[in-house]
């Protein structure tokens, strides 16, 4: 079953928005040019890439043939706070990373992110500086990979 970028982005945004401490969440059609520090911690969710497995030989779903397997990659950028006082910024960043992991781990059964066709997902995260509207934010980028077939 094909999933859509818009539905998946919104599903991920709704999960991310539920993370404790999120002040504002932005979906694909709400991408901000700038974020006010009063709205942090904020999350910005967006589609990054997709790849299709042309053979699909490694999954039981392909034994009948004709199944398109895809990996959809989305980012959740957490703007913890404007970069100004590193010990305070790092504390907010660490708490928000824990809170986002907890929110993502609520996805225990199908359909993941409330998106029909999202059969599995995984995530990674790393600390990063995120510049938005000429302002540098201390943050975390979660990379969400959703598997559909």
Where do the domains of the chain lie, and which CATH numbers do they carry?
5-148 (3.30.2000.30)
Quote the strand ranges of the chain, DSSP E: 24-26, 42-53, 69-82, 118-132, 135-148
Q: What is the reported pLDDT for 26?
A: 97
Kindly state the tokens that stand for 139: 């943050």
For helices 86-104 and 5-17, give the axis angle rounded to 10 degrees: 120
pLDDT of residue 37: 86
Q: How many helices (H) and strands (E) does the chain have?
A: 2, 5
Asked whether the predicted pLDDT for residue 131 surpasses 60, the reply is: yes
**pLDDT value for 30:** 95
Q: Is the pLDDT of residue 122 over 60?
A: yes
> What's residue 71's pLDDT?
94
Three-state DSSP at 135 gives strand
Report the predicted TM-score, pTM, of the whole model to 2 decimal places.
0.88
Lowest mean pLDDT of 60-64, 92-96, 97-101, name the range.
60-64
CA angle 13, 16, 22 (to 5 degrees): 115
Angle at 52 between CA 118 and CA 29, to 5 degrees: 60
Q: Does residue 28 contact residue 45 with C-beta atoms inside 8 Å? A: yes
Q: How confident is the model at residue 139 (pLDDT cuts 50, 70, 90)?
A: very high
């Amino acid at each position: 079953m094909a999933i859509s970028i818009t539905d998946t982005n919104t599903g991920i945004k709704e999960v991310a928005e539920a993370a404790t401490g999120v002040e504002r969440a932005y979906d694909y059609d709400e991408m901000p040019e700038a974020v006010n520090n009063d709205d942090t911690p904020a999350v910005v969710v967006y589609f990054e890439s997709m790849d299709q497995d042309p053979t699909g030989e490694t999954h039981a779903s392909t034994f009948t043939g004709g199944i398109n397997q895809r990996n959809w990659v989305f980012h959740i950028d957490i703007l913890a706070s404007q970069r100004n006082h590193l010990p305070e910024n790092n504390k907010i960043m660490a708490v928000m990373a824990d809170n986002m992991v907890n929110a993502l781990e609520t996805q225990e059964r199908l359909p993941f992110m409330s998106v029909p066709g999202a059969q599995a997902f995984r995530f990674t995260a790393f600390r990063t500086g995120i510049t938005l509207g000429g302002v540098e934010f201390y943050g975390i980028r979660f990379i969400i990979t959703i598997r559909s077939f």
